[in-house]
């Protein structure tokens, strides 16, 4: 399928490298995420998760609460039980449910659904792929997922906003909280590997590989199914790259992210 509704091959946050360059072009759906553009809040959350177990426990409890609420929302709306044992198959049901909310314009409703759906999406990825939640245990939009198989981190709740509206949510959109700027990127390392300083960083290399993939329709592009497939593609490409370099698989943990995200003094 081709035409104006098609999107180019998916980059780390879902856009082609032609649409969104590392330099930060404003073309939708936004700049490719990169290590080095994290906010102080994100760095602080990672440090708090490492140093204050009570906050990490509160963050886990918040995720559990949001996921339970989403199970109930979906059950009531479409009479489907989102069982953990069906894995990514459940994404089809979730995308269908989110399509029913597409015309909703009331910010509190959209915010509630995005928080619940995003937490469910992040938990699916955590179970299927592996990762660690960070946050303050209070605000859903401060939740981030740090993946274990590769150095990739992102905001599932912000991805859910775009899945609901099936498009880019611009600053000032009345469907999101006032002043909110969504982060719908899959953030990768921006700097080249110290062992391969002359080769492109993961961010640039992945953008090039995904730019070679065929276009996808816009509704698939923004769906949680599409986001999951993009993430699987990114992880597979990164694993192949490491294998070609002769490196053994690495599991990234909280301390690795804290070290990488904290600015050098």
pLDDT at 35: 43
In a domain, 38, yes or no: yes
pLDDT at 47: 65
In tens digits, what is the pLDDT along the chain, a chain of 265 residues? 323 344 544 444 333 333 322 222 223 322 234 444 555 556 666 665 666 788 889 999 999 999 999 999 999 999 999 999 999 999 999 999 999 999 999 999 999 999 999 999 999 999 999 999 999 899 999 999 999 999 999 999 999 999 999 999 888 889 988 766 899 999 999 888 888 889 999 999 999 999 998 888 988 999 999 999 999 999 999 999 999 998 888 899 988 888 887 766 6
In a domain, 194, yes or no: yes
pLDDT at 179: 67
In a domain, 100, yes or no: yes
In a domain, 133, yes or no: yes
**Is the Cβ–Cβ distance between 62 and 138 less than 8 Å?**
yes
In a domain, 202, yes or no: yes
Q: Which of 10, 4, 5, 6 is nearest to 212 (CA)?
A: 10
Total domains present in the chain: 1
pLDDT at 39: 54
In a domain, 20, yes or no: no
pLDDT at 190: 87
Give the residue numbers spanning the domain of 202: 30-261
In a domain, 189, yes or no: yes
pLDDT at 191: 87
* SS (HEC) of the chain: CCCCCEECCCCCCCCCCCCCCCCCCCCCCCCCCECCCCCHHHHHHHHHHHHCHHHHHHHHHHHHHHHHHHHHHHHHHHCCCCCHHHHHHHHHHHHHHHHHCCCCCCHHHHHHHHHHHHHHHHHHHHHHCCEEEECCCCCHHHCEEEECCCCCEECHHHHHHHHHHCCCCCCCCCCCCCCCCCCCCCEECCCCCCCCCCCCCHHHHHHHHHHCCCCEEHHHHHCHHHHHHHHHHHHHHHHHHHHHCCCCCCCCCHHHHHHHHCCCC
In a domain, 1, yes or no: no
pLDDT at 186: 95
């Amino acid at each position: 399928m081709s035409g104006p509704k098609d999107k180019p091959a998916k980059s780390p946050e879902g856009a082609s490298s032609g649409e969104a360059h590392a330099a930060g072009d404003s073309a939708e759906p936004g700049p490719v995420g990169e290590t080095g553009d994290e906010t102080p809040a994100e760095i602080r959350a990672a440090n708090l998760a490492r140093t204050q177990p009570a906050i990490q426990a509160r963050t886990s409890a918040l995720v559990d609460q949001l996921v339970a609420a989403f199970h109930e929302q979906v059950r009531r709306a479409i009479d489907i039980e989102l069982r953990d044992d069906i894995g990514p198959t459940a994404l089809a049901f979730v995308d269908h449910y989110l399509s029913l909310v597409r015309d909703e314009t009331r910010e509190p409703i959209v915010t509630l659904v995005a928080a619940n759906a995003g937490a469910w999406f992040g938990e699916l990825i955590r179970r299927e792929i592996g990762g660690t939640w960070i946050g303050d245990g209070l605000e859903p939009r401060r939740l981030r997922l740090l993946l274990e198989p590769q150095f990739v981190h992102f905001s599932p709740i912000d991805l859910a906003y775009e899945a609901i509206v099936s498009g880019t949510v611009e600053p000032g959109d009345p469907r999101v909280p006032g002043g909110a700027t969504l982060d719908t990127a899959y953030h990768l390392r921006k700097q080249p590997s110290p062992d391969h300083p002359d080769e492109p960083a993961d961010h640039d290399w992945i953008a090039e590989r995904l730019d070679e993939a065929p276009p996808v329709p816009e509704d698939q592009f923004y769906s949680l199914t599409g986001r999951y497939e993009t993430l699987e593609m990114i992880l597979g490409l990164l694993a192949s790259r490491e294998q070609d370099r002769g490196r053994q698989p690495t599991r990234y943990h909280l301390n690795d992210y804290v070290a990488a995200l904290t600015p050098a003094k």
